Amino acid sequence: MYCIRQKNDLSLRELTCSQESLEYDANYPRSHYDRLADDEWTRLTNSRRGELNLLVHLDVLRQHITADMDVLEIGAGTGIYTKELVNMSRRLVVADLSKVQLDLNQEHMRELGVVDLVYEYRVLDLVDLSEIDDSYFDAIVCVGGPLSYLLNKAKVGVQELIRVVKPGGIVILGVMSLISTLIRFMGSLVQEKDEIGIENLRWVLQTGIQDREHNPGREHYCHMMTCADVDSLLKNEEIEIVERRAPGLLSLAPEEALAQVREDDELWELLVERELAWSRLPGTLDLGTNIIYVLRKSETN
């Protein structure tokens, strides 16, 4: 009831049928994360905005991942969640599209003394998990950006996640948030218009999609979503939505203000308490830095 797309917005079906530039090409996100390299390791810890985002993600993981689960973490990056998941699960398989990211992940886990707790590292593309049998894992964690990079293959990615999890199993998936991103980067909107033009910018704001056609000269192609987009991806799938969360909701505040609060332990504890509580409110879902859905696969599958 909270996820209503405006009538003049284009549906995902209309977009994927009409735009060749929406074709998913794994080389783009792979190259992007190869270049980012170890920046991913500190992305959520070098600012208080990132810390709030991280704390909600960790809260979700702790609620749904248990010590009797075999877990696939896909799109694991350099390991900011891997270091937590190795101690939460029975067996953890860590996967990413980028071997650079996987190698760094392994290096970090070795430094932390937990690399032996990782069952396996695998280079995998979310749109093709054919190496994995049906109903193999108890839970899958796919948070951050992986699903947002799939463009016209996003539905395929969702179906692959559901296929490889056991009936009754849990899928924790996340996407980049369109509205939160717009608010946080409002200060660069004038420059963005100057660089790509008002009509291309209109496309990005209406659809959330940065593609080849509407972002000339750039290679960071992704789909920043609203909860309506995620709901559309999940339509007709045999799943139950267990919960939805908005991590990084209070990250809309200026970093300087959050840093001041962080210096007061009592005040920061209160702020984190509210972040965790308010991230559950349906009305806040599109305002988080990311959007998280926790799904349970139908027992009949």
The total of other beta-carbon atoms located within 10 Å of residue 188's CB is 10
Q: Phi and psi for 250 in degrees, rounded to 5?
A: -80, 0
Query: pLDDT tens across 33-71, in order?
Result: 999 888 889 989 999 999 999 999 999 999 999 999 999
pLDDT of residue 175: 98
Predicted confidence at residue 150, as pLDDT, reads: 96
pLDDT of 21 reads 72
| pLDDT for position 301 | 65
Q: What is the largest CA-CA distance in the chain?
A: 53
- Are 88 and 63 spatial neighbours (Cβ–Cβ below 8 Å)? no
Question: Which pLDDT belongs to residue 11?
Answer: 46
Exposed/middle/buried for 29, CB within 10 Å: 0-12, 13-18, 19+? buried
Which two tokens mark 237?
Answer: 């799938």
Look up the CATH superfamily of 12-178+222-297. Answer: Vaccinia Virus protein VP39 (3.40.50.150)
Domain-by-domain residue ranges, the chain? 12-178+222-297
Q: What is the pLDDT of residue 212?
A: 87
Could you list the mean pLDDT of each consecutive 10-residue stretch along the chain, which spans 301 residues? 37 47 90 90 93 97 98 97 97 97 97 97 97 97 95 96 98 97 94 93 94 84 96 96 97 96 98 98 95 95 65
